[in-house]
A and B are shown apart, each in its own frame.
Chain A
Amino acid sequence: MINWKIQLKGTWTLLKKELLRFWRVVFQTVAAPVITGILYLLIFSHVLDSRTEVYEGVPYSAFLIPGLIMMSLLQNAFANSSSSLVQSKVMGNIVFILLTPLTYIQFFIAFLIASIVRGLFVGLAIYLLAIIYIDLPLMHPWFIVSFSILGGALLGTFGILAGIWADRFDQMAAFQNFVIMPLSFLSGVFYSIHSLPPVWQSISKFNPFFYMIDGFRYGFFGQSDISPYISMGIVLTFFIILASLSIRLLKTGYKLRG
């Protein structure tokens, strides 16, 4: 048996490498999505602030911020693990990890935490910039913290699965454009699902992004489309399912070991 100190050092090294990987290109991995999020906020709040009120007493720009933070957090958590994996596979340097004694659990944990950290960085930056000129309450901070970590974990895991599956950059781009983007845009970032026709309301309830954004928003305003506890339960269930699947694939070496 390899002792726990060696195991811990191995996991920490892989995590450190993954964190440094995105930090080395911080303009692309953090600054760019923050700018995009702020631009969404400026444009939508300018156009809709005086015309729309989703929650009573909450200006549209304030309503929008949590949605934009969560959307950016989720997209970047996904991008971190998926792009790291697919790049390593295409360039062949995944072999440096495959040759090591790191277990599939260590692999999973390191990629997962790095994804959460990048998501949190992006989300926090958007939050700090937004509150400079928009008042935003903080009703239940623990819901904000838990939904952001859980959301980052769910999308980081989704990214690991996509990274294992994709062999080429175009496959990953297709996954991002045809799965992640529609799910994040149709999740209630810009609206409450109560404003949608009944059919679309029902469809939205199959979208896990909706629960992450709705629960996260509850943390700020104390109001949500559905109970934050139900959202938490659903997000946690999705996470457990995807995490089990990705751990299973890592264990069998699917598309990684011949």
Chain B
Amino acid sequence: MIELFNGALTLNRQLMLGLREAPDTIQRGFLLILLVGVLVGGVNGISNLLSTATPEQALENFRRELETQIDQLVLTSNDPNMAEVTRVINENKEPFFALINDIQLLPTALPRPAGQLFQLLATTISSPLSYLSSMLLAAVATHIVARRLNGQGSLQQMIGLSSLSVAPHALDALAFIPGLGGTITLIAWAWGLVVLIVATSIAHRIDSSRATMAVLFIPLLMVVLIGLACCLLLVFAGVLAGANPV
């Protein structure tokens, strides 16, 4: 499994060719996703556990996140009523945090550490499924376009090889580092994209340019369609506003 993981990260073509012809290609691919998902989920779960170890810490984290969001809202908004909104928020903030604290301190049948342990396990076990879900959507979308571009691979081969694109997401385990989380996630995503392009090229026996087109076609189409839908909505809203002037 470690060999498969390293091979995916280093874009090892021999390893990918072997995986394409292996009868258990999907099983090995899913095991790789399980490995990466459990690693990332486990680290994130422990990070969450440490930051919410006591009710006071949990409340402090919640307070910090909410205040950051409020600051961003105040800075980015052009609404003339923002001063009134800020006044209401400031007046209600402390009673609201007191309410959250009271709810946290309510007794439960099992002690608080049991709930925290469940949360840790849930984060650990849910991460592989989240990665699997994203990978399946990407693999199916890519497979449909690749077949139109004369690709020869089967759906099973495509899914098995696409699983390798999850390997760089092991970097997501470092996303808890303050200030670096976004950059690390972006690097993992870009690296995963490159692995997916190479995997598509090998699974379907097509050149890299076609594989790139197969991978990017549906996401780009979606972006264009969403853009067009937004434009139409704006035009429609403009027409409505013109028809009913205030």
| A and B bind | no
